[in-house]
């Protein structure tokens, strides 16, 4: 049924006309090149194609992201494994790593406001932990390699295909950090820890400063150690955890080894997988955690305290990533509560406490500092002075929830996301029949209903495609696993492979920069960020110049409210966009004075020393204020300008 509906949709909608053939051709060329090299390694070294491809993708990563960020991220991963092994013995290595990452982010989250987050703290502590547990780490890694080889040997062709698709998705990790929300918000915490060793959440300057921060903390740790952004290697870890979670869930649902690999490929082929790997949004980590939670829920009945504590850590981690991520966890937790024996009442309290400790830090700080634990959400209820007394929601994507939504998301994705049609891939329609089969089969029925709930819940209030991604990932695994453990006919395998390939053909629609050739630019730049900054975010070029100048006194004002890329300036950053309602109001008031004097007073009150602006967006009163302040042009990049103001009396410029 699904493939037939998909063919009808492709015939009556213009989706195929928007297929980015040039971008797909680049992926095909890259895939063929890596396959040729993997085949050569197979002939020379006797490795499997899957192992050769995996090694190649790993080796390519530092060429574009840098060696030190990769090494720092590997150190983070090893420390996380040690923590996970200490807390949860005899668990899969990837699950231990995930639990360790979430536990570590919780500890750091409760201490963010304490000035201890320095390289000279993180690096020696991390090395000491790894050296201390090196024997156990080595034996665990060797066991993991043995399991990998066995899994590949059981289905070598599907394994190679899955690794190829995961590798193509990982190419988005090669890009520097360029996405809008990262430059306005997510980079703020990592850069503050790198430059100051402490996080100072100031909601009057960034309304999301106290929002859930677990994933940003995980991004910050290797950045502090390496002294450079490490988003690419960190997201490669999340991709690895996503893939292993898909494999494990498919295994628990009774899928054959071949289908487990195809489930991995189906999830990795989603255009949003690559799109999210290129940024710092929470949906990729959320999907990885939810897959592992579902694998635990689907596992044989287990009422041990350790099992419930592990579920609590994962659920708490989702709470610490995003409040909506915690909502997505509710159907999975309900499934676990129905399936597994409950612990005693005192132990239930211990489990709840563990989950709150892992997930509650930012909510406690937000209530303490701002009077709203979910600022700026539900401020009509909490009435925090830092935001308008309204319940925040983005009406742009409040389009309507109905039974035709999967069709609309598939064939008209651009209405629901900042990209082109095709960003949802084709699984919501192409796998519809297999999802119905999963509902009919007892081994997969609960998982199918949970996947539907996880998909629907975030779309009820707002129909934004990115929020559907975790549910889509679950749907992919459950649908593929519905085919069971028996032998499969080749046409059916070919159909699943074809759906994956069609998804990959739309990979560049996962984010508009990919569609605009960001991957090609990255390859041409050979790991240099400057050309991509110049094209996609010239503010980042000027930000690097400001840091290089050593003039660290005063604040930096991003004067264009349309591109308020001020996150990497940390506590020094200022914007007149909606991210800072108080400065937005002050700017509106200053604009009423054509003489520019109100703007000048605002610049002085905010202790502004540097201004980044876009010439065509500069108003006459802003221009007069800069003249009155004695500002002078320092540098230009991509249509943006950096202006410096003289130092106040008694504070000479460096």
**572 and 611 share a domain?**
yes
| The predicted structure's pLDDT at residue 650 | 54
Instruction: Flag whether 405 is in a domain.
Output: yes
In sequence order, what are the beta bridge partners of 644? 610, 632
**474 and 556 share a domain?**
no
Residue after which a domain boundary falls, among 484, 518, 552: 518
Q: Decide: helix, strand or coil at residue 611.
A: strand
Residues shown for the chain = 654
Q: Decide: helix, strand or coil at residue 641.
A: strand
Q: Decide: helix, strand or coil at residue 61.
A: helix
Query: Per-residue pLDDT averaged across 258-280, rounded?
Result: 98
**487 and 557 share a domain?**
no
**169 and 269 share a domain?**
yes
- Residues 250, 252, 254, 260, CA torsion sign: positive
Query: Per-residue pLDDT averaged across 98-110, rounded?
Result: 98
* Edge-to-edge strand ranges of the sheet holding 573-575: 573-575, 555-558, 608-614, 640-644, 632-637
| The predicted structure's pLDDT at residue 324 | 97
State how far the Cα of 469 lies from the Cα of 419, in Å rounded to an integer: 15
Confidence of residue 649 (pLDDT cuts 50, 70, 90): low
**398 and 544 share a domain?**
no
State how far the Cα of 301 lies from the Cα of 306, in Å rounded to an integer: 13
State how far the Cα of 423 lies from the Cα of 289, in Å rounded to an integer: 22
Query: Per-residue pLDDT averaged across 118-133, rounded?
Result: 97
**470 and 592 share a domain?**
no
Is 399 a residue whose pLDDT tops 70? yes
In sequence order, what are the beta bridge partners of 573? 556
Query: Per-residue pLDDT averaged across 78-87, rounded?
Result: 97
Residue 435: HSE in the Cβ half-sphere, 13 Å Cα cutoff: 22
Q: Which residues contact 505 (CB under 8 A, 6 or more apart)?
A: 19, 20, 24
Instruction: Flag whether 365 is in a domain.
Output: no
Confidence of residue 92 (pLDDT cuts 50, 70, 90): very high
**551 and 595 share a domain?**
yes
**Cα distance from N-terminal residue to C-terminal residue, the chain:** 70
- Is the bond leading into 187 cis (omega within 30 degrees of zero)? no
Q: Decide: helix, strand or coil at residue 249.
A: helix
Residue after which a domain boundary falls, among 456, 483, 518: 518
State how far the Cα of 485 lies from the Cα of 179, in Å rounded to an integer: 41
pLDDT exceeding 90 applies to what percent of the chain?
Answer: 92
Residue after which a domain boundary falls, among 472, 488, 518: 518
**309 and 170 share a domain?**
yes
Q: Name the token pair of 79.
A: 């420390």
Instruction: Flag whether 317 is in a domain.
Output: yes
Cβ burial, residue 86 (10 Å; 0-12/13-18/19+): middle
Instruction: Flag whether 16 is in a domain.
Output: yes
Query: Per-residue pLDDT averaged across 536-554, rounded?
Result: 94
- Say which residue, 43 or 239, is predicted with more confidence: 239
User: Residue 56 CB: number of other CB atoms within 10 A?
Assistant: 19
Residue-wise pLDDT tens digits, 433-491: 999 999 999 999 999 999 999 999 999 999 999 999 999 999 999 999 999 888 888 89
Contact criterion met (CB below 8 Å) for 509 and 423: yes
Q: Does an H or E element contain 215, and which?
A: helix 214-226
Alpha helices in 13-66 (DSSP H): 21-45, 49-65
| The predicted structure's pLDDT at residue 647 | 81
Q: Are strands 555-558 and 573-575 parallel, antiparallel or unpaired?
A: parallel
State how far the Cα of 167 lies from the Cα of 55, in Å rounded to an integer: 10
Q: Does an H or E element contain 391, and which?
A: none
Which domain covers residue 250, as residue numbers?
A: 2-359+393-518
Is 374 a residue whose pLDDT tops 80? yes
The whole-chain average pLDDT of the chain stands at 95
State how far the Cα of 35 lies from the Cα of 33, in Å rounded to an integer: 5
Instruction: Flag whether 290 is in a domain.
Output: yes
Query: Per-residue pLDDT averaged across 223-230, rounded?
Result: 98
Cα radius of gyration rounded to whole Å, the chain: 25
Is 652 a residue whose pLDDT tops 80? no
Instruction: Flag whether 552 is in a domain.
Output: yes
Instruction: Flag whether 380 is in a domain.
Output: no
Q: Does an H or E element contain 368, and which?
A: helix 361-370
Q: Under the phi-then-psi rule, with left for phi > 0, alpha for psi from -120 to 50, and beta for the rest, what region is 414?
A: alpha
What is the DSSP code (8-state) at residue 482?
A: T
Residue-wise pLDDT tens digits, 482-528: 998 888 888 999 999 999 999 999 999 999 899 999 999 999 998 89
Contact criterion met (CB below 8 Å) for 448 and 435: yes
**470 and 603 share a domain?**
no
- Number of domains the chain contains: 2
Is 654 a residue whose pLDDT tops 70? no
**490 and 580 share a domain?**
no
In sequence order, what are the beta bridge partners of 614? 640
Of 248, 263, 328, nearest to 295 (Cα)? 248
- Residues 309, 251, 246, 29, CA torsion sign: positive
Instruction: Flag whether 245 is in a domain.
Output: yes
Query: Per-residue pLDDT averaged across 603-618, rounded?
Result: 95
User: Residue 120 CB: number of other CB atoms within 10 A?
Assistant: 9
**296 and 241 share a domain?**
yes
Residue-wise pLDDT tens digits, 195-210: 999 999 999 999 999 9
pLDDT exceeding 70 applies to what percent of the chain?
Answer: 99
**20 and 68 share a domain?**
yes
State how far the Cα of 250 lies from the Cα of 235, in Å rounded to an integer: 22
């Amino acid at each position: 049924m699904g493939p037939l509906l998909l063919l009808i949709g492709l015939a009556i909608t213009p989706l195929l006309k928007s297929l980015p053939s040039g971008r797909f051709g680049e992926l095909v060329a890259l895939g063929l090149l890596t396959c040729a090299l993997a085949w050569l390694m197979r002939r020379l070294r006797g490795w499997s194609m899957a192992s050769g491809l995996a090694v190649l993708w790993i080796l390519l990563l530092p060429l574009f992201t840098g060696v030190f960020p990769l090494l720092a991220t590997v150190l983070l991963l090893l420390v996380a494994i040690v923590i996970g092994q200490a807390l949860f013995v005899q668990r899969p290595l990837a699950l231990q790593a995930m639990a360790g990452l979430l536990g570590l982010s919780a500890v750091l989250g409760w201490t963010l406001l304490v000035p201890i987050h320095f390289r000279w703290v993180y690096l020696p502590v991390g090395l000491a932990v790894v050296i201390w547990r090196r024997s156990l780490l080595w034996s665990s890694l060797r066991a993991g390699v043995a399991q990998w080889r066995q899994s590949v040997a059981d289905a070598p062709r599907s394994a190679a295909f899955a690794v190829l698709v995961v590798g193509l998705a990982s190419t988005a990790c090669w890009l520097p950090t360029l996405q809008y929300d990262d430059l306005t918000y997510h980079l703020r915490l990592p850069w503050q820890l790198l430059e100051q060793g402490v996080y100072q959440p100031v909601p009057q300057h960034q309304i999301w400063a106290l929002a859930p921060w677990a994933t940003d903390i995980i991004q910050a740790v290797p950045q502090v150690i390496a002294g450079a952004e490490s988003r690419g290697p960190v997201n490669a870890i999340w991709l690895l955890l996503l893939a292993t979670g898909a494999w494990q869930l498919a295994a628990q649902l009774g899928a054959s080894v071949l289908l487990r690999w195809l489930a991995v490929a189906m999830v990795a082929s989603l255009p949003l997988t690559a799109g999210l790997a290129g940024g710092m949004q929470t949906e990729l980590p959320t999907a990885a955690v939810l897959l592992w939670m579902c694998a635990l829920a689907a596992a044989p009945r287990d009422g041990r305290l350790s099992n419930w504590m592990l579920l609590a850590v994962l659920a708490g981690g989702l709470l610490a990533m995003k409040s909506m991520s915690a909502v997505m966890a509710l159907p999975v937790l309900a499934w676990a509560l129905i399936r597994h024996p409950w612990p005693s009442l005192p132990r239930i309290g211990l489990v709840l406490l563990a989950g709150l400790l892992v997930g509650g830090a930012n909510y406690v700080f937000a209530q303490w500092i701002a009077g709203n634990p979910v600022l700026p959400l539900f401020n009509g209820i909490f009435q925090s002075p830092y935001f308008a007394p309204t319940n925040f929601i983005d009406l742009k994507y409040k389009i309507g929830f109905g039974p035709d939504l999967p069709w609309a998301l598939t064939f008209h994705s651009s209405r629901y996301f900042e990209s082109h049609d095709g960003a949802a891939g084709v699984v919501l329609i192409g796998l519809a029949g297999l999802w119905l089969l999963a509902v009919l089969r007892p081994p997969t029925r609960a998982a199918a209903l949970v996947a539907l709930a996880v998909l629907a819940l975030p779309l009820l209030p707002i129909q934004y495609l990115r929020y559907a991604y975790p549910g889509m990932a679950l749907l992919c695994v459950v649908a593929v696993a519905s085919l069971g453990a028996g032998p499969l006919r080749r046409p059916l395998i070919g159909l699943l492979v074809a759906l994956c390939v069609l998804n990959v053909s739309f990979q560049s629609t996962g984010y508009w920069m990919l569609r605009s050739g960001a991957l090609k630019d990255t390859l041409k730049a050979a790991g240099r960020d400057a050309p991509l900054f110049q094209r996609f975010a010239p503010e980042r070029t000027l930000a690097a110049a400001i840091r290089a100048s050593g003039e660290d006194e005063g604040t930096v004002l991003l004067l264009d409210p349309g591109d308020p890329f001020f996150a990497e300036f940390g506590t020094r950053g200022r914007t007149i966009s909606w991210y800072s309602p108080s400065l937005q109001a002050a700017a509106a008031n200053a604009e009423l004075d054509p003489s520019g004097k109100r703007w000048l007073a605002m610049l002085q009150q905010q202790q502004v020393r540097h201004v980044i602006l876009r010439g065509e967006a500069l108003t006459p009163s802003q221009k007069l204020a800069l003249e009155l302040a004695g500002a002078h042009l320092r540098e230009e990049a991509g249509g943006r300008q950096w202006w410096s103001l003289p130092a106040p009396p008694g504070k000479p410029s460096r």
